[in-house]
Amino acid sequence: MRYNFDVPVDRSNNLAAKFDERKNKFGREDVIPLWIADMDFMVAQPIMDAIQQRASQGIFGYTSRPVSYFESVCDWQKRRNHWEIDRDLIGFNLGVVPALCTAVREFSEEKDKILFLTPVYSEFFDTVEKWGRIALTSALKEENQHYTVDFQDFEEKLKQGPKMFILCSPHNPVGRVWSREELVKMGELCLKYNVMVISDEIHSDLMLWGKKHIPFASISEAFARNTITCISATKTFNLAGLQASTTIFPNAEVKAKFEGFWQRLDITRNNCFSVVAVEAAYRYGEDWLEQLLRYVEQNILYVKEFCDENIPQIKTYFPESTYLMWLDCRALNLGGDALVNFMVNEANLGLGDGRAFGTDAGFMRMNVACPKATLEKAMNHLKQAVDRLVK
């Protein structure tokens, strides 16, 4: 089936956080929302069919999870990433962030240090600090709009005795797909200093430009024994509102401890729609995904070329994965809240504030998973605002 991602979708009656929360987040309701990481695209038809068929049954009681649900996860990982997973070591969770929170809560103590690389998805800070742990960060090195790990600093931070390292792979917001060499070096250092790895791989299906994802736990048996991996179909297939993710554990003991927390809350089941949607996505959604990725690539190229030609004050980082673009706006010389105010009130854009990702002022994150017409409108607003600023 051929999908048309140019078709706009009216989300005004969708209860979409991206739209309905604009007033609260940005102070006004008319900004073009390019912040939260979901997509303004209809999901794959097989997913729609599965949900509609389930809805037509007209009864939505407690829902069991069939064996085929986790089998679809295993089949997907084997087909896409050449990773063979033991089905007995897979668990359900409401989302990757809840899974990260659970790992921090169950496998560390208050005041323990938790290491991660910055700039990074802002919820990493919340995940650590709201449980009374201490965020220990190692800043990525940046050169020519490309980020790499500062391994000297990374090892120095490991020497401080963090309880765990939360890896973002691929990395949000800078879009890096870590090479095997980089992953091996991170993993070997974590083994050397006896630091558990929690690998957030929620963006791992959103590979661009022919890049291939390497699941961290697939690299070696030693890595697998030291890693909890968090994945989800919801980011890949735009299903975040259905709240479902998958956690892969190193052994049965770790799985039991992790899942014990959710069992005490009596949260162990999918809702009736996520159970069919996730399986349909993994079984039949690949064609939609491949078309989506090509569309996202063209949107990225459009934003980059537009900035290069029309707004040279804003430099773009070229993501190797995800539909998120990291924008360096430091040449606009707008410090503190001034850059956010400029984007909202002058450019009429709702973007992600770079400071929330653990970096200095001057950076913004833009979600380009929307029809190109939306991006064209947004970029023209931005150009006009910058022209007024620098004239």
pLDDT in tens, 138-177: 999 998 889 999 999 999 999 999 999 999 999 999 999 9
Together in a domain, 163 and 88: yes
166 and 255 share one domain: yes
- Residue 391 inside a domain? The answer is no
Instruction: Output the pLDDT for position 144.
Output: 85
> What is the number of structural domains in the chain?
2
What is the rounded CA–CA span in Å between residue 344 and residue 22? Answer: 10
- Taking the C-alpha atoms of residue 204 and residue 168, their distance in angstroms, rounded to an integer, is 10
* Same-domain pairing of 270 and 214: yes
For residues 36 and 140, state if they share a domain: no
Q: Do 176 and 321 fall into the same domain?
A: no
Domain hosting 204: range is 59-284
- One domain for residues 93 and 240: yes
CATH number of the domain that residue 373 is part of = 3.90.1150.10
Beta bridge partners of 136: 115
Do 321 and 342 lie in one domain? The reply is: yes
Rounded-to-integer distance, Cα 22 and Cα 34, Å = 10
Yes or no: say if 373 and 6 are a contact pair by the CB < 8 Å rule.
yes
pTM exceeds cut of 0.85: yes
pLDDT (0 to 100) of residue 298: 98
CA distance 273 to 237: 14
Residue pLDDT, tens place only, 59-92: 999 999 999 999 999 999 999 999 999 999 999 9
Residue that terminates a domain, selected from 244, 259, 284? 284
Identify the domain boundary among 236, 251, 284. 284
Task: Judge if 150 and 185 occupy the same domain.
Answer: yes
With CA atoms as reference, report the closest residue to 345 among 381, 370, 306: 381
Q: How far is CA 85 from CA 79, 81, 88, 249, in A?
A: 12, 11, 9, 10
Question: Which of the 8 DSSP states describes residue 346?
Answer: I
Same domain? For 266 and 380 the reply is: no
Same structural domain for residues 293 and 263? no
Domain boundary among 260, 284, 308: 284
CB neighbours of 281 closer than 8 A, spacing ≥ 6? 43, 44, 46, 47, 233, 236, 237, 239
Please list the ranges in the chain whose pLDDT falls under 70: none
pLDDT of 335 reads 80
**For residue 13, what pLDDT is reported?**
87
Same domain for 161 and 245?
yes
